[in-house]
A and B are shown apart, each in its own frame.
Chain A
């Protein structure tokens, strides 16, 4: 049986190996300075880059984080600080349900709420959809991180006469801040690769734009458009853009994971 299980481990890791290998083989060749600094060439022509998508992803994800992180962290602190409250149970359960909601459904929601009302596509609607996806993730990591703080620390602060809010902010949160930041980074990494919620909110664009009220390009949307398009040249760009995307995601999530692990080993 152990042999079978080792076999399962090997089979499970084969796709990872091949996906990374193919990304590097097919994507790395198209990376150049132009790729990072130019907007796309007209369809069918060679040259150009994906600066519009890089800027778009940065803006859309940035705004999503500005909306999603405070709400997620705040609600996470609530769940950890008032575990006996009935609202905690409800919020935690709803967050877990929302976590399983398909991202495309959240996209339809943002479309119905914003795009359908305004009658035009907008990057802001995409940001809101992404924020909604990150809130439950951030909430749960924040809660789990705060739960790791020993109660004696909290009691010590209270015994010294700190009010609860100062205990929470300057003792509990302060201790666990790296953990919360790690959770936030992981959530950012997750939404940075999301495509489905942006399909009919940010829509995508071939031009460099910084107007949140207009359609905007994003790296995952660019990968999708180029991969399903008819031109060989586009396919090369799809691989290169995917390589960049995965590097962004991996750097964010690897950094976050390593930070967490170092913390754990320090504590142990």
Chain B
């Protein structure tokens, strides 16, 4: 999937006055990747993208495109093109003129310009729309024009700033898969900024999670979800039950975290964390099992008896069709999120509000976080 490095951020810092928007970020993006910059608003992801496009200059550090330092190169001389959040389709030009604008700036002749612009419109399924004005297009169509306008220049990298945020839910789902297939078709490296974790997980081949200007983790979507490296990432990507505890046993083949809320949590692998130090066990809701209350606590296959199990009461239930979300109150009043897929139409183990239950999870389920 990933080829040679195409973009490198080297110790990039950007300050606006006294606020640090991007704090010492180093990041390499490879050719052909669909890379996503993910984070809450104000985390610096857009600033990073704008520095790559050339609209902001880094305060410190270097940006390399194809090994060349472009830190101070103006935007009109960079081999990258951007799809703006507002699409920024020129309202006074026809669709065709919009798409051909970049080629015109490059000095491409009129007939070739037209040909290539029409080709690009075909690529985004807007063939025949060339004569229209942008105000005669829907939001989704305008975005396609912006895409065609950026792609027609055959940039080394295509930048997308929150590309789906202005679309309605249905169109968003459609554009997700279209953008992915478009990227595979044209083979251009895409870098997308988004605050929507679903979007990033669904589309990107690799994501960088940012928070307060700092790079938190760079990984594939599944690694981000299953192997987060910090509480921030675990919490930001998907939902999670976090248990704080001390690392009591840290052997080669197992570890035990003593948590207040879940009691001792047994892990089937070593942690190499700080001895007796504070760590967090993060368990995703769908990795927690729900059992009918019996006298004897259920035993988890890969953990000794009495570990990774707690008694609780069903406090909230939300039926979502494909799955049901539960909130189970365990001793101490802590609410545990549990998600169960509705596998059959007549669920024999249907749980009710107020019902006494056991919850359990496998020794391999918790992600152990040191920060």
A complexed with B: no
Where the two chains meet, the residues of A that have a C-beta atom closer than 8 Å to any C-beta of B are: none
Where the two chains meet, the residues of B that have a C-beta atom closer than 8 Å to any C-beta of A are: none
